[in-house]
Structure 1
Amino acid sequence: MSLPLFPSPAELLDRHLDDLGPVVGRFRFKQYYLPGSPELELALCLVSPESEEGARCLALVTDQVSEVTRWMATGALDPPGLQCLADAIGSPVVDLFGPWELLPVHIAKPWGQEIWYTGIEARGQSLIAEGGNSVPLPWLLSIAPDRLLQPGGRDPALLKILDPLPEEVFGDLYFELHEEKREVYVVTHVDGDAWPDGTGAIRFGFDPEQRQNHGDADFRARFLSLVRDYEAIRRQIDGFCDRYRRRDGIGLNEPVPAHQLKKWLGDVPRVLRQREEAARAAMNEMTHLVPLAVGDVVKVPCLTPHALQHGVRTVEFQTPVYERKILSFAQKVLTQSHWDTEEAVGLMSLDAGHLEPLPVIERDSGYTLEQVVAFDDFEVFRLTLAVGGTWRAPDRDCYRLAMALQDGALVNGRVLGAEHACLVPRMARWLSVANTGAGSLVVLLCQPIL
């Protein structure tokens, strides 16, 4: 016996929703986020239990097709049977009406780490967690992305945390710009050792006084010249460090802890280190630093160079594309062999970045809803709930993301702790948030523009 093969898992879901009878089958999933888009065979089981709490559709999707086939020869495909199968193969049973708990993947960076809650690409895929087990987010979405996200949708907006090291230089991000990618940061923590007064920073655009002194054309030429000078020194230092990597058996493009990098830099000739420091200071003098405190919001316009500074932890929402141009970096760039300075200088905005106040959308005795940003493809809100406060969003025909910044959030009945997030599928349509904690609660919400 083998499971029936369906051209599309959406056919299984349609068949199930037509009469709510249990269905099982297999389908071929093209892993579009991996090089070459390798094909993977997955099994899908769908069961809808009777519930007084509203519609439910329990799904199990797994690559253990043979195990599901064996189970179907003897086991029952009902809610208890589906859970027994899931426990036996270590897969979760997920309600397609949600909400889904997002299990992040940690991506090492030279400057610290990124924590991806909805990441779907070759470097890592986020997971959906339920009952102690997990399944890759793209596998679950592959069942019917139109039904689970939005018509024509394949990936949700990318929700992640930027977690830089607290040390100057070592924890400073790339100075880069984007042509298409839209992103917004919400500051959640400023390291007290790195910034004793509680105010961190982001390098954001260019210094207005320097720009006025030089004029735009000369400013671009001077900045490009300074970066080229710095890059030449940087590559000499990186060459020394690459020798030490080979000596110590560490890959040339493998992230290493700051203490290891410091040890190698200590063996670089002092005169070269002094030249690097002076060249970096001259380059950075052309740029603009904006102070950041917990709760601040940074909307990054396309073509505006920016670099979050060390020790400033943020939640980021962005379009799910990998696209950037690196103008400069105070370490070796591990993900590409070149900087994009010359092209970026011709494209970049010379304006100084700034923070904008958030408009209040709704306010009541128990909550305040502010709009963080409204891009062409998605929008983000900040919901602040008083103790015991609740908020119900208008029903909406799309998915939504929610991240709690403190403990005590209840999103569509699912408890979220601090820096925990969930995805509410399109099939749910409704969204309710409550504060069950002992203090004020902030929840960040994201939804596509329809």
Structure 2
Amino acid sequence: MTFIHESDNPEELLSIWEKENKDASIFESDEVNFFSGEQNTAKGSLFLAVEYSFIQYYLANKPSIKLLALYFYHDKNIYFTVTASDEFLRTNFSLLSPSFDSIKDFLSNNKLPFLRLDQPLALKPVNIEKPWGQEIWYTGIEQRGISSVTDGIYDSPLPWVLSAAPKRLTAGREKQINLLKILDPAPEPLFGDLYFELHEKKQEVYVVVDIDEQCWPQKIGGMRYGFNDELKNTFSSEKDFHKAYKKAVKKYSKIRQVIDARLDSYRALEGYAFNEALPISVISKWMTLIPDDWIYEEKKLRSELNHFSSILSLKVGDVIKIPLLTPHGLLHGVRVVEFQNPVYERLILSFNQKTLTQDHWDTDKALSIMTERIDPFSELTIIEKNLNHTIEVVAVFDDFKVSRITLSSKSSLSLTADKNYKLLLVIEGSIDCNSIVAIKECGLFLPSYQKEIAIKNINDNQSVILIASPIHN
């Protein structure tokens, strides 16, 4: 019979279990003889089960849930999994026979991932529908979506996994994980343009990974970035320019509200929530029912409004560091990787669709605090370059930094580990990172305090990865 311990701090019990078992030298012994059935000790066991309360800080009202963390020693390594605890699971676990095979079967039967504590964790992203397309979150931990950790077959929510060993995995920063995601706008200009917005606290950097050739035949896409200096210079003052821009916003907002009210009536008829992100195919169908004169007016006023903003040309591989207080908005068909700090705020100047998260635009406030346009294409600093690899600094913010590593065919690289966790995303080719294979657009969570990070390009051509890590103040 196996025993389930209860603790407010599962990682503390894990450390005690590990130390006592090392002292007992059981890690060199026959595993079948060392499953403890004693209720008050984990000593002398190759297995540890801990039930604990977990506050889901990312959900409304922060509900508490009981989690069950299972740690086990095999081939001189510690493996673990974590899941929601219930009576059925506890009963079946307590009846397990003391063998590694029975533990593996238990995990498989209950669809639980088999994870190694000191190895990179493969991230399973969650797709978040947006009016303009979708976001693909690799480290999302919030009400709207939660990413997971997977062993390639089964998965467990990322915050649950981190809670099982927060100091070892994140150096105690499990609630401040930076957000790694892909922005994937639709190719249609009417639907695929993002909000024209600015941020007061959110720090972000984009890396362009694809441009849709159907809407950008020359493979040169774009984003709105600041305001049109040429148009601005035709006004006698910045105040007059802002006045004209706000007038254009107001005129467009009126036709936008008329169209959105009609679209909302279709939502009601077909049973959709008013603030639900819908497939573009649904909105496109409804748009065919909108009167032609409304469509004409919307297009004309949108064009007039867009003339006030500046377009920044983008190509695959470009790195754009978005300064705070700078209005910006990615355009349709331009796919980017985004790293950002875990801050969720924005001021929307305008949007060519209904805004689902708020019932107004923030044009006046945004104009009052925005800064002059800053060149986002600062030259990347090369840290190291040789025949095998190139390491470049993509961005350094107050609380995190991002690097890009380009590996030549079949080359290898060892990175010095430190106390910071790291987020890795493959944007070209395929790699092996500490025996975990990652192909294009696969993300890895690299735990804190790893002894070494060994990366090998297993692709015949070059491979490119992005790595982000927090900066401790």
TM-score between both structures, scaled by the size of structure 1: 0.94
Q: Quick one: structure 1 residues 210 and 447, their matched pair in 2 at CA, closer, same or farther if it must change by over 3 Å?
A: same
Q: 4+ runs of 1 displaced by more than 6 Å?
A: none
The whole-number CA distance in structure 2 between the counterparts of 1:128 and 1:380 is 22
Question: Aligned residue for 2:437?
Answer: 415
Task: Report the alpha carbon displacement of residue 131 of structure 1 after superposing the two structures with TM.
Answer: 4.7
Which residue identity lines up with residue 66 of structure 2 in the other structure?
E
The whole-number CA distance in structure 2 between the counterparts of 1:204 and 1:2 is 59
Q: Kindly indicate whether the alpha-carbon contact (under 8 Å) linking 1:160 and 1:315 is maintained by their aligned counterparts in 2.
A: yes
Q: Kindly indicate whether the alpha-carbon contact (under 8 Å) linking 2:227 and 2:308 is maintained by their aligned counterparts in 1.
A: yes
What is the SS of the residue equivalent to 2:82? strand
Single out whichever of 398-407 and 289-298 deviates more from structure 2: 398-407
Query: Does 2:73 align with 1:48?
Result: yes
Q: Kindly indicate whether the alpha-carbon contact (under 8 Å) linking 1:399 and 1:429 is maintained by their aligned counterparts in 2.
A: no
Which residue identity lines up with residue 329 of structure 2 in the other structure?
A
Question: Aligned residue for 2:297?
Answer: 275
Q: Kindly indicate whether the alpha-carbon contact (under 8 Å) linking 1:100 and 1:129 is maintained by their aligned counterparts in 2.
A: yes
Q: 1:23 aligns with which of 23, 48, 51?
A: 48
Which residue identity lines up with residue 414 of structure 2 in the other structure?
R
Q: 2:421 aligns with which of 387, 399, 411?
A: 399
Q: Quick one: structure 1 residues 46 and 143, their matched pair in 2 at CA, closer, same or farther if it must change by over 3 Å?
A: same
Q: 1:248 aligns with which of 270, 285, 288?
A: 270
Task: Report the alpha carbon displacement of residue 155 of structure 1 after superposing the two structures with TM.
Answer: 3.3
The whole-number CA distance in structure 2 between the counterparts of 1:2 and 1:343 is 59
Task: Report the alpha carbon displacement of residue 289 of structure 1 after superposing the two structures with TM.
Answer: 0.5
Query: Does 2:342 align with 1:320?
Result: yes
Question: Aligned residue for 1:9?
Answer: 10
What is the SS of the residue equivalent to 1:115? strand
Question: Aligned residue for 1:140?
Answer: 161
Query: Does 2:179 align with 1:178?
Result: no
Q: Quick one: structure 1 residues 77 and 345, their matched pair in 2 at CA, closer, same or farther if it must change by over 3 Å?
A: farther
Task: Report the alpha carbon displacement of residue 439 of structure 1 after superposing the two structures with TM.
Answer: 0.7
Question: Aligned residue for 1:37?
Answer: 62
Q: Kindly indicate whether the alpha-carbon contact (under 8 Å) linking 1:120 and 1:155 is maintained by their aligned counterparts in 2.
A: no
Which residue identity lines up with residue 94 of structure 1 in the other structure?
L
TM-score between both structures, scaled by the size of structure 2: 0.90
Q: Kindly indicate whether the alpha-carbon contact (under 8 Å) linking 1:32 and 1:38 is maintained by their aligned counterparts in 2.
A: yes
Q: Kindly indicate whether the alpha-carbon contact (under 8 Å) linking 2:180 and 2:337 is maintained by their aligned counterparts in 1.
A: yes
- Computing the radius of gyration from Cα coordinates, the structure with the larger value is 2
Task: Report the alpha carbon displacement of residue 78 of structure 1 after superposing the two structures with TM.
Answer: 5.6
Question: Aligned residue for 1:127?
Answer: 148
Query: Does 2:239 align with 1:217?
Result: yes
Q: Quick one: structure 1 residues 78 and 156, their matched pair in 2 at CA, closer, same or farther if it must change by over 3 Å?
A: farther
The whole-number CA distance in structure 2 between the counterparts of 1:9 and 1:231 is 53
Q: Quick one: structure 1 residues 66 and 222, their matched pair in 2 at CA, closer, same or farther if it must change by over 3 Å?
A: same
Listed as ranges, the gaps of 5+ residues in structure 2 are: 22-44
The whole-number CA distance in structure 2 between the counterparts of 1:73 and 1:247 is 52
The whole-number CA distance in structure 2 between the counterparts of 1:327 and 1:80 is 59
Q: Quick one: structure 1 residues 351 and 73, their matched pair in 2 at CA, closer, same or farther if it must change by over 3 Å?
A: closer
* Deviation readout 1:205-248 (Å, 9 max, x if unpaired): 11122333333332223222221221122111101111122223
The whole-number CA distance in structure 2 between the counterparts of 1:12 and 1:235 is 57
Task: Report the alpha carbon displacement of residue 154 of structure 1 after superposing the two structures with TM.
Answer: 1.9
* Deviation readout 1:323-382 (Å, 9 max, x if unpaired): 111111101111222222222121222426542221111101100011110111111111
Question: Aligned residue for 2:447?
Answer: 425
* Deviation readout 1:123-166 (Å, 9 max, x if unpaired): 11001001511000000111232321134442321111111111
Task: Report the alpha carbon displacement of residue 279 of structure 1 after superposing the two structures with TM.
Answer: 1.7
Which residue identity lines up with residue 411 of structure 2 in the other structure?
G
Query: Does 2:119 align with 1:93?
Result: no
Single out whichever of 222-231 and 284-293 deviates more from structure 2: 222-231
What is the SS of the residue equivalent to 1:101? strand
What is the SS of the residue equivalent to 2:258? helix
* Deviation readout 1:39-90 (Å, 9 max, x if unpaired): 1001111122243xxxx32112111343442244332466434322211211
Give % identity: 37
Which residue identity lines up with residue 261 of structure 1 in the other structure?
I
**What's the C-alpha RMSD, in Å, of the aligned pairs?**
1.8
The whole-number CA distance in structure 2 between the counterparts of 1:27 and 1:202 is 47
